[in-house]
A and B are shown apart, each in its own frame.
Chain A
Amino acid sequence: MKRLLISVVAILAALTASAQISLGEKGGVISGSIESNNIVYFNDKALSTPAPDTHFGSNDYIKVDYAIDRFSAGIQVETYLPALQGYEIGNYGLGKMHDFKVLIPQVYAQWQDKSYSVTVGNIFDQFGNGLIFRTFEDRQLGFNNGMLGLRATANIGDYVAIKALYGRPRLYTSYKTGWAGGADLSLSLGDMFGFKQGALFVEGSYTNRYEKIGATTAQNLLNMYSARVNFDMAGFTLRGEYVGKGKDFTTSTEGHKGQAVYGEVGYANGGFSFTAMGRMLDRMVTPLTIDGAGTGNTLNYLPALTRQYTYMLANLNPYQVNAEGELGGQADFYYSYRSKSNRYRYWNFHLNYSTYYTLRKSQAKSGNHELLWQDINFDVERQWSKKLKTTFLYSFQEWNPYHGYHHRTYVSNIFVADVQYKFDRKKSLRVEAQYMLSGEYEGDWVAGLVEFNLAPRWSFFVSDMYNHGRTDKNGIYKGTKKNYYSVGGSYTIKRTRIQLSYGRNRAGFICSGGVCRYSPEYNGINIAVTSSF
């Protein structure tokens, strides 16, 4: 009851955050945000996962910042009352999934001058593409590996940018006992040599992680480095990164060296743009600590470089990166044509292809390079008039459920039609119809969504996703015949948004920024409040 009460107080606090106290011109500025995600769980006979004992979960965040002139400081408090089901932070701390947790893990103070800055406290940063270092927070994943330590940056004109940091990375509810740190250098050769037509950067980074694992320094200290080049000119882009990783004894007792290569080429002109990127990952899993688990136990950022969809069925089986060994890439084409006589009429065309294979033959039982994933997709968006817009999407997805070990893939064909109609300046309706055609795994799916918006405050939706399965050529039925329905609405006033929904949610991977977390199925009421000031 107390937990529910505190959550209600959090929501009320967010709703009533309207009284204003000015600190005056010389008193500085206070700003902040509140986010509260709550689910009341129900038992559902159609689901194999029972509701948690508490029948309630709540992940809440309060952040308050203060800034005056070049100085700023802040604090973030998090509460898990207890953690929402499926969030890995629920497994940490006091050792039980349903523990009530209040954490004050984040504080910082920063001095930001014109050519240098110093930060003490929690640090979020990234070197290059994040292949050797990234600390960040993702609340959708329940993920925060922000480092408690010291960070300094310096710039010499437009020519040189350098930063260095050191500290203890966060693993869910605590800071690990080891240390991590590094430095990053960026040289703008374009500015140095007066090359005004474009930009040319040569960059390099070094990261280390120290943790008492064995008897020798070689076992305890991990070194990683990266070399990069970035070039931009007249719409043309070229980027490359090479990463070398020393022996890592957190992933295997014998310790393996790792490496990664990333390349990107792009061209944009008028309404046309093209981007292609390729990446090789070889034993690049780099945990924060040997004693941790979960998606949050990572020092680097290795996202899946594939298209991330906003449609339910296209996201049913997302690609999960194989950081131990994969080779692949993706390409994107965009073309946009806007009518010169009527700006409200345009066409957008988008074509995307991604494919990944196992890197080493030893990763597969067959002794070959096995396909992990491929997706060929295109979408056409047409704004017919001020009132009507339509989108059609097709995606062919093929994925290996055994991460390449067995020579076996599942194929899906996904079709989406999305129509939006604006009745007047305030009222609009959006309808989605989706179908997945698949002879494998759970067979066919059908899904639909209707959304009605009353700008600028209200939005209502109802959606359903139904697995009606399929009988294969051998007469075997594959499917669950389950409905995953949801109904809800949201109210927005300035910077406060309240969303209330009820539904049955399918088990699967929740992906954000290319990182995926497994979420169990549940039936429940979801209340989410976000506000900032």
Chain B
Amino acid sequence: MKKLFCLILALVAVISVSAQQLPDVKVENIDGKELSVRELTGKPLIICYWSITCKPCIQELMTILDQIEDWKAEADFEVIAVSVDDARLKATAKAKANVFKDSFICLFDANQALKRAMNVSLTPQSFVVDSKGNIVYSHTGYTPGSEQELIDKVIKIYKKK
């Protein structure tokens, strides 16, 4: 068993695939309707995972909200805020999302199906996805200033189009 475990570790150490795609998982939008995240591809996307008890997550979203008008002048893209709050805090998360729902697409992953499929262990975690649904960049954690990496990647893929 230990050998198997070490073998899997070794495999994980060397195998990593660059063109991971958005999984075909259904989540709820702010109106309570289910949709697949793949339906949202077509433009570059910034996907930010957050929860009501994750202070840096909310800080990241609020900072993006501060800057989104300036960013959108440089590239046409969408921001998707995925709440992983479960039944306990979903209503509170929806109330909080009201602050940024006009600027971001708000999704609610209450039983964390999308979070599991995208292998998100910790929040905050942010992804940049190209217009074909390929994940081209990802970052775990948030420190003030690290949001700049997200827009830099979006501008890069936007200019490649």
CB-CB < 8 A to A126: which residues of B? 86-87, 110-111
A406 interfacial contact with B, CB 8 Å: no
Across-interface contacts of A124 in B (CB, < 8 A): 111-113, 116
| A158, B92: Cα distance in complex, Å | 26
Q: Using an 8 Å CB-CB cutoff, how does the interface string of A4-29 with B read, 1 for contact, 0 for none?
A: 00100110110011111111000001
Residues of chain A with a CB closer than 8 A to B55's CB: 310
User: Are A495 and B140 within 8 A (Cβ)?
Assistant: yes
Q: Contacts of B12 on A, CB cut-off 8 Å?
A: 13, 17, 32, 34, 62, 64, 533
Does A368 lie at the interface of the complex (its beta carbon under 8 Å from any beta carbon of B)?
Answer: no
Q: Which of B34, B89, B95 contacts A334 (CB 8 A)?
A: B95
Q: Are A268 and B139 in contact (CB under 8 A)?
A: no
Task: Establish whether residues B17 and A533, one from each chain, have CB atoms under 8 Å apart when the complex forms.
Answer: yes
What is the minimal beta-carbon distance from A108 to any residue of chain B, in angstroms? 10
Nearest chain A residue, comparing its CB with the CB of B149: A456
User: Chain B: which residue is nearest A387 at the CB level?
Assistant: B144
Scan A303-330; emit 1 where CB is below 8 A from any B CB, else 0.
1110111100000000000000000000
Give the residues in chain B near A453, CB-CB below 8 Å: 143-145
Given known contacts A112-B24, A266-B91, A532-B120, A77 and B5 CB-to-CB distance under 8 angstroms: yes
**Residue A422 contacts which of B20, B99, B144 (CB distance < 8 angstroms)?**
B144
Known: A30-B15, A77-B8. A456 touches B145 (CB 8 A): yes
Specify which of B14, B69, B141 lies most central, judged by the most chain A CB atoms within 10 Å of its CB: B141
**Chain A contacts of B110 at CB under 8 A?**
126
Beta-carbon contact of B34 and A161 below 8 Å: yes
Kindly list chain B residues whose C-beta atoms are within 8 Å of the C-beta of A198.
Answer: 31
Tell me whether A134 is interfacial, beta carbon within 8 Å: yes
Quick check: A494 and B95 within 8 Å, CB to CB?
Answer: no
The residue from A6, A134, A386 contacting B5, defined by CB atoms under 8 A apart: A6
Least Cβ–Cβ distance between A241 and chain B, in angstroms: 10
Chain B CB count within 10 A is highest, among A301, A303, A310, A513, for: A513
Q: What is the size category of the interface that chain B forms with chain A?
A: 35 or more
Rounded to whole angstroms, the CA-CA distance of A22 and B86 in the bound complex is 35
Residues in chain A near residue B4, CB distance under 8 A: 102, 104
* With A136-B112, A513-B88, A530-B140 as contacts: A426 and B95 at CB distance below 8 Å: no
Q: Are B87 and A9 in contact (CB under 8 A)?
A: no
Are A497 and B122 also in contact (CB < 8 A) when A10-B9, A21-B16 are? yes
The 0/1 profile, CB within 8 Å of A marked 1, for residues 94-121 of chain B is: 1110110000000000111100111111
Min CB distance, A286 to chain B, in Å? 15
Min CB distance B1 to A, Å, is 5
> Which of B52, B120, B139 is the most central at the interface, judged by chain A CB atoms within 10 Å of its CB?
B139
Tell me the minimal C-beta distance from B137 to chain A in angstroms: 8
B16 and A426 contacting across the interface, CB-CB below 8 Å: no
The complex places the Cα of A67 from the Cα of B21 at a distance, in Å, of 9
- Chain B residues with CB under 8 Å of A9's CB are 6, 9
Query: Shortest distance in angstroms between B101's beta carbon and chain A's nearest beta carbon?
Result: 8
Assess whether B2 is in contact with A6, with CB atoms less than 8 Å apart: yes
Segment with Cβ contacts to B, from A167-175, A244-252, A273-281, A500-508: A273-281
Instruction: Verify if A199 is at the interface (C-beta below 8 Å from B).
Output: yes
Chief secondary structure at chain A's binding surface = strand
A29–B21 touching, CB < 8 Å = yes
A477 within 8 A of B: no
Query: How does the 8 Å CB contact mask read for A423-461 relative to B, with 1 for contact and 0 for none?
Result: 011111000000000000000000000000111111100
Q: Is the CB of A264 within 8 A of B91?
A: yes
Q: Are A456 and B2 also in contact (CB < 8 A) when A10-B9, A130-B87, A268-B94 are? A: no
State the CA gap A61–B1 with chains docked (Å).
15
Whether B16 and A18, one on each chain, are in contact in the complex, defined by CB atoms closer than 8 angstroms, is yes
Specify which of A12, A19, A459 is in contact with B16 (CB 8 Å cutoff): A19
Chain A contributes a number of interface residues (CB within 8 A of B) equal to: 104
Known A13-B13, A17-B12; contact A332-B144, beta-carbon cutoff 8 A: no
Alpha-carbon distance A532/B122, docked complex (angstroms): 10
> Is A486 at the interface (CB under 8 A from chain B)?
no
User: In this complex, what residue of B is CB-closest to A66?
Assistant: B17
Question: Is B20 a contact partner of A199 (Cβ separation < 8 A)?
Answer: no
A495 touches B95 (CB 8 A): no
Residues of the A chain whose Cβ atoms lie less than 8 Å from the Cβ of B15: 19, 21, 30, 533
Please indicate the chain B residues that have their CB under 8 angstroms from the CB of A383 in the complex: 62, 66
Q: Mark A62-103, 1 if CB is under 8 A from B, else 0.
A: 111101001010000101000000000000000000000010
A532 to B5 alpha-carbon distance, docked (Å): 17
Bound complex: CA A455 to CA B8 (Å): 33
Task: Report A-chain residues with C-beta under 8 Å of the C-beta of B21.
Answer: 29, 67
Output the nearest chain B residue to A497 by Cβ-Cβ distance.
Answer: B140
- Interchain CB contact under 8 A, B119 and A33: yes
Q: Among A21, A22, A308, which residue has its beta carbon within 8 angstroms of that of B53? A: A308
Q: Which residues of A contact B (CB under 8 A)?
A: 2, 6, 9-10, 12-13, 16-23, 29-35, 61-65, 67, 70, 72, 77, 79, 102, 104, 112, 124-126, 128-130, 134, 136-137, 139, 158, 161, 188, 198-199, 201, 230, 232, 237, 239, 264, 266, 268, 271-275, 277, 301, 303-305, 307-310, 332, 334, 336, 343-344, 348, 383, 386, 420, 422, 424-428, 453-459, 490, 492, 494-497, 513-514, 530, 532-533
Can you give 26 contacting A-B residue pairs, CB < 8 Å? A9-B6, A17-B12, A19-B15, A21-B15, A21-B17, A23-B17, A62-B12, A67-B21, A126-B111, A199-B31, A237-B91, A237-B94, A271-B98, A273-B95, A273-B98, A301-B86, A308-B52, A310-B54, A310-B55, A422-B144, A425-B148, A427-B145, A455-B144, A456-B145, A532-B119, A532-B140
| B→A interface (CB under 8 Å) | 1-2, 4-6, 8-21, 23-24, 31-34, 52-55, 62, 65-66, 69, 86-89, 91-92, 94-96, 98-99, 110-113, 116-122, 125, 137-141, 143-146, 148-149
